[in-house]
Amino acid sequence: MSDVIAKDDLLRLVDQWLAEGKRVLGPVKAGDGVILYAPLAASSQLVLEGFVHAANSIKEAVFPRSETIYTYKFNGHEIELSDVDPDSTQCIVIGARPCDAASLPVLDHLFNWDYKDKFYNARRAATTVVTVACSEYDDNCFCTSVGLGPAAEQGSDAMLLKAPDGWYEVRAVTDKGTALFNGKTTPAPEIKVPISDGPAKKFDTVDIETFLKNNYESDAWRDITMRCLGCGACAYNCPTCHCFDIVDEGDAAGGRRVKNWDSCQFGQFTVHASGHNPRAVQAQRQRQRIQHKFRIYPEKFGAILCTGCGTCTRNCPVSLGVLNTLEAIAAVARGSIEVK
Amino acid sequence: MSDATGFEPKIVAYVCNWCTYLGADLAGTNRLEYPPNVRIVRLPCTGRIDFNLLIKTFEMGADAVIVSGCHPGDCHYTAGNYHARRRWTMFRELLDTLGFEMDRIHFAWISAAEGKKFQQFITETTEKTRALGPYTAYREICEASR
Amino acid sequence: MIDQLRQTCRKLLEEGAVKVVIGYGQDKPSMMPHPVFITKPEECDRLVWNDLCFANLAAYITRKEIKALGKPAVIVKGCDERALVVLEQESQFTRDGIYVIGVACTSLPASGVGNPRAAKCASCAVRTPRYADVTIGEAAVGSSAVGSSSCSTADAEFAQLDEFMKKTPAERFAYWKAELSRCVKCYACREVCPMCYCNRCIVDKNRPTAIDTSATIKGNLAWHIARAFHQAGRCVGCDECTRACPAGINLRLLNQSLAKSVERAFAYKAGMDKETPPVIGSYSLEDKENFIQ
């Protein structure tokens, strides 16, 4: 038993959500042809097909690049603090890839661990994620290597599967997803969209974890990551990277305290007030990123901090990213690359 | 002073310590009256005036910015104003490409003896800015970033 | 050509003339060519050369991780070499402290959408490096101003900018507002840039904060003004920032606006001539302007 929706009806539905005042986030063509997840103004901007993955991720729906957490004002010698209410505007993410959606349950651990982040949780509760199962993939995709796949349902509230003749099969995954498409779909018992196998498995996470445990000080880090330039193109566009910085922005009258994205790849990230930097060279920063994703986070929360979307590799100006680093690590682990 | 809408332009003038600031001083001692819309910030030399200050000034709500220092040949540090001249030539191009309202950014050479020129320049700039109205485009950006 | 390149590098390493070769490699066919650091003669076969070798390797010369390897040989295209010229003028290295292997651009990259080199290559005037210790290959014939029959190189170079400047200031401001709203401040533009070698960038300074670190439109505009203007008279137009930007922001346009003003006002082009004093650190009594009252 399948339920389907015609693409035109889907787009009309998107416009209806917008008319209801909901925030709708989806892949759009920006600037010089780059596909990015961005807030939609109309369904006509939405690009559902014809690309493998957007150049960024959907994490902005729950964890914006910059978020005010409170404001302050100076009144003579007094300081007046004002809370900022968490944003619980209803938000629908449409056209996400399963590897994007899968990051949300992973992020939930972090934002509800020792401290429950009310800003994250409010946005998370107000967000409904509609994914499109992948029918194509490229050399940078490796979802199957981290236990996901082209139609993995983790984090999705509903999933669309592209059927012939301008139809989408709609699979509701959660109650939110069911409610979203309730009464909008047509039963079509004859349509059953086959699911692609996805990219071939490229490494084994158990092998990687073993390597990471035993090779913290290995020279392999230096050799593999020598070309890393230390930008945040990988981390900022990663669906699971979640580091942030807290800064005050204001003037003599007052200002705001903001939570901004930050990246472990920046040289300034770990600089102490004393001037000492425990991660003094880029190799140590790359090691941190990989160790965090494939050993530290799994040990702490039982989930890998990577969904195999390949966005880091696609964005990396020097073709590094998680995949190429892990493949190089796997080669070292197999002994096929000699460490200098 | 104010027009029908009550708009009073906010203007910040970055001036050098040796010429324009003294020019302003001279205007004062000569009791030359000029509009109070201008806030004067004194720096050692026009060569010291960082372009980031201009951007910060607009961010903090200025409607126009003035940069003023010694005439060519008169720099207390010999060449600070020559360096500044080059820098502003390039910087103006960048701002123009970015679509800044260029009639809100003013440059002048005003010497310590030119109290009268200082008065006239401030008066003219204030009137021009008043006619332009508030720098809405920039304020919108700052508003959207709160 | 690739054999000659590998041979040259092998010889340099064997003789101990350099400790490391900074070149391009390609670990697997699906990858873009990327920077590699060859320290052993037998590894020189990892080197590749093709017209997808975008990265400007001059960016590595000033990095402490690379400096720690010892004297480098760096492979540069003519455009990348301009960056070396500027870095040398700014005393970031001594010429006898590095070995420069120039490669001439033998083929022209296909123009068109998706090829980040097309824009700069079309008006390139330095297909053959000029200051290299050794130059490999010969530049393609009919090098400069490819694809434009009537206009001169300079006009072709700034064609995109000239077209953009036909818009009204309000339209331009709106354009940048939209472009820069996509910036997340990952600083890829800064990190790939050979000229951005400051130990601590102004945007990372917080006592006091000159530029908001938030990726709001206000903070982004201030950042991109600072990034572009700190390159004034220094940017060699390698376009690496534009290629690296994940959000596809047209940073080339900002760099060009400065390059054009520097060229028109001071007859200066960054990295073209070692002997001409850098435009930003010098002045002339004859400098003309028409905006100071």
Domain span including residue C245:
158-270
Pairwise CB contact (< 8 Å): C30 & A226: no
Q: Which chains touch A (3 or more CB pairs under 8 A)?
A: B, C
Judge if C237 and C206 occupy the same domain: yes
Nearest one of C163, C83, C166 to C119, comparing CA atoms: C163
Nearest to C210 among B52, B88, B109 (CB): B52
Domain assignment present for C290: no
At residue C107, the pLDDT reads 65
Judge if C64 and C100 occupy the same domain: yes
The span from the CA of B77 to the CA of C49, in Å, is: 51
pLDDT surpasses 80 at A263: yes
The span from the CA of C269 to the CA of C271, in Å, is: 6
Asked if B64 has any chain C CB less than 8 Å from its own CB, the reply is: no
At residue A339, the pLDDT reads 64
Point out the residues of chain B with pLDDT beneath 50: 1
Asked if B136 has any chain C CB less than 8 Å from its own CB, the reply is: no
Judge if C138 and C162 occupy the same domain: no
Asked if B48 has any chain C CB less than 8 Å from its own CB, the reply is: no
Domain boundary pick from C99, C118, C144: C144
Chain B partners within 8 Å of A256 (Cβ): 146
At residue C110, the pLDDT reads 57
Point out the residues of chain C with pLDDT beneath 70: 107-118, 140-155
The span from the CA of C66 to the CA of A228, in Å, is: 11
Helical ranges in B30-109 per DSSP H:
51-59, 80-98
A109 token code pair: 């651990």
A256 to chain B, minimum CA–CA distance in Å? 8
A314 exposed, middle or buried (CB, 10 Å; 0-12, 13-18, 19+)?
Answer: buried
Give the percent of chain C with pLDDT over 90: 72
Pairwise CB contact (< 8 Å): C65 & A282: yes
Domain assignment present for C285: no
Nearest to A233 among C37, C186, C219 (CB): C186
What CATH number labels B11-144?
3.40.50
- A91-100 mean pLDDT: 96
Judge if C119 and C172 occupy the same domain: no
Q: What is the pLDDT of residues A41-67, one digit of tens each?
A: 999 999 998 999 999 999 999 999 999
CA closest to B142 among chain A residues: A250
Q: What is the pLDDT of residues C68-102, one digit of tens each?
A: 999 999 999 999 999 999 999 999 999 999 999 99
Chain B partners within 8 Å of A251 (Cβ): 60
Q: What is the pLDDT of residues B34-59, one digit of tens each?
A: 999 999 999 999 998 999 999 999 99
Q: Which residues pair with A6 in a beta bridge?
A: A167
The number of folded domains in chain C is 2
Sequence ranges of the domains in chain A = 3-334
At residue C32, the pLDDT reads 87
pLDDT tier for residue A194 given thresholds of 50, 70 and 90: confident
Domain boundary pick from C144, C172, C193: C144
Question: Could you give the C-alpha distances from A85 to A70, A124, C197, in angstroms and in order?
Answer: 9, 14, 41
At residue C116, the pLDDT reads 56
CA closest to C216 among chain B residues: B145
User: Amino acid letter at C271?
Assistant: G
Question: Could you give the C-alpha distances from C245 to A56, A241, B35, B125, in angstroms and in order?
Answer: 11, 18, 46, 40
Domain assignment present for C259: yes
pLDDT tier for residue A32 given thresholds of 50, 70 and 90: confident
The span from the CA of A208 to the CA of A9, in Å, is: 45
Nearest to B60 among A68, A251, A256 (CB): A251
Q: How much is the mean pLDDT over chain A?
A: 93
- List the beta strands (DSSP E) in chain A: 3-6, 23-30, 34-39, 66-75, 78-83, 91-96, 127-132, 158-163, 167-172, 186-187, 244-251, 254-261
The DSSP string of A109-151 is HHHBSSSB-HHHHHHHHTEEEEEE--S---TT--GGGGT--TT
Q: Are A230 and A285 in contact (CB under 8 A)?
A: yes
Asked if A248 has any chain B CB less than 8 Å from its own CB, the reply is: no
At residue C152, the pLDDT reads 44
Nearest to A233 among C32, C200, C246 (CB): C246
Nearest to B94 among C173, C218, C257 (CB): C257
Domain assignment present for C8: yes
Q: Is the ipTM of this complex over 0.85?
A: yes
Q: Are C25 and C37 in contact (CB under 8 A)?
A: no
Q: Which residues of A touch C (CB under 8 A)?
A: 30-34, 36, 38, 55-56, 65-66, 139-140, 222, 226-227, 229-233, 235-237, 245, 247, 249, 258, 260-261, 263, 266, 268, 281-283, 315, 317-320, 324, 327-328, 340
Q: Which chains touch C (3 or more CB pairs under 8 A)?
A: A, B
Domain assignment present for C82: yes
C108 token code pair: 């022209």
| DSSP code for C133 | S
Pairwise CB contact (< 8 Å): C215 & A315: no
Sequence ranges of the domains in chain B = 11-144
Asked if A251 has any chain B CB less than 8 Å from its own CB, the reply is: yes
